[in-house]
């Protein structure tokens, strides 16, 4: 019989929480992996100002709550003000290099802080290089149809950056800013339209186009199969 594992994901805000609960949870559920999300942002507060000192409290609470669950993060590097490993990220750096520096430093610090809670085994860090919206660039046709623009505009961005996970993270060219610019009213509704687009694209396509995202999910699958 396959083992069933439970994962608690500490996420940046409402959009990430909805994404996990509506799209990722059913997908992983078929693999005997249960996942639920809790937003670190307080009600009414926008994401984007995520600090380790805030997330640490949530990590501690969930690691101490039950010894048989795994705890992860789904927080993006873009806009993060204070986090383990930020000072060690080389400039310029590839998405892989950024993720490696941040995730390794986060794992090390959480393991040190919560060794009694077996954080070395139970904590799986995932600080995405870019915001949730980057995942929506995994299918130019679906996204373009939703935005009412030509798919070539989106394909050009992906081609120039190399992959959805490599889309620029400065204030003008971050994935969310590009989506806002393509909207007639200048605002992309990520909690509704964004989730709808993500649902149409599907997790498998996201995994195919986003190796860092894929690696995160692969870790859960390996734990469930007893590989780790």
Mean pLDDT by 10 residues, the chain (228 residues): 87 92 97 94 56 91 94 87 88 89 96 96 91 94 96 95 87 89 92 96 97 96 85
**Distances from the Cα of 87 to the Cαs of 43, 113, 115, 124, in angstroms?**
30, 20, 24, 21
Based on C-alpha coordinates, what's the Rg of the chain? 17
Longest dimension (CA), the chain: 54
pLDDT (0 to 100) of residue 44:
47
The answer to whether residues 123 and 113 touch, using CB atoms and an 8 Å cutoff, is no
Give the C-alpha separation, 127 to 106, whole Å.
Answer: 9
DSSP code of 163?
A: S
């Amino acid at each position: 019989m396959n083992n069933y594992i439970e994962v608690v994901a500490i996420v940046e805000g409402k959009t990430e929480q909805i994404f996990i609960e509506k799209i990722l949870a059913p997908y992983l559920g078929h693999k005997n992996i249960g996942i639920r999300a809790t937003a670190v942002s307080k009600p009414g507060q926008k994401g984007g100002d995520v600090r380790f000192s805030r997330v640490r409290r949530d990590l501690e609470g969930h690691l101490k709550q039950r010894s048989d669950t795994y705890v992860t993060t789904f927080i993006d590097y873009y806009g993060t003000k204070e986090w383990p490993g930020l000072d060690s990220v080389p400039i310029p750096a590839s998405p892989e290099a950024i993720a490696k520096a941040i995730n390794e430093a986060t794992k090390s610090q959480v393991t040190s802080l919560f060794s009694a809670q077996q954080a070395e085994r139970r904590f799986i860090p995932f600080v995405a290089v870019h915001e949730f919206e980057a995942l929506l660039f995994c299918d130019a046709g679906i996204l373009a149809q939703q935005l009412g623009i030509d798919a070539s505009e989106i394909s050009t961005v992906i081609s120039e950056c190399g992959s959805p996970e490599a889309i620029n993270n400065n204030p003008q060219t971050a994935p969310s800013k590009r989506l806002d610019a393509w909207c007639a009213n200048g605002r992309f509704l990520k909690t509704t339209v964004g989730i709808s687009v993500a649902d149409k694209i599907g997790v498998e396509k996201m995994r195919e186009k986003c190796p860092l995202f894929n690696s995160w999910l692969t870790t859960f699958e390996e734990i469930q199969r007893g590989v780790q």
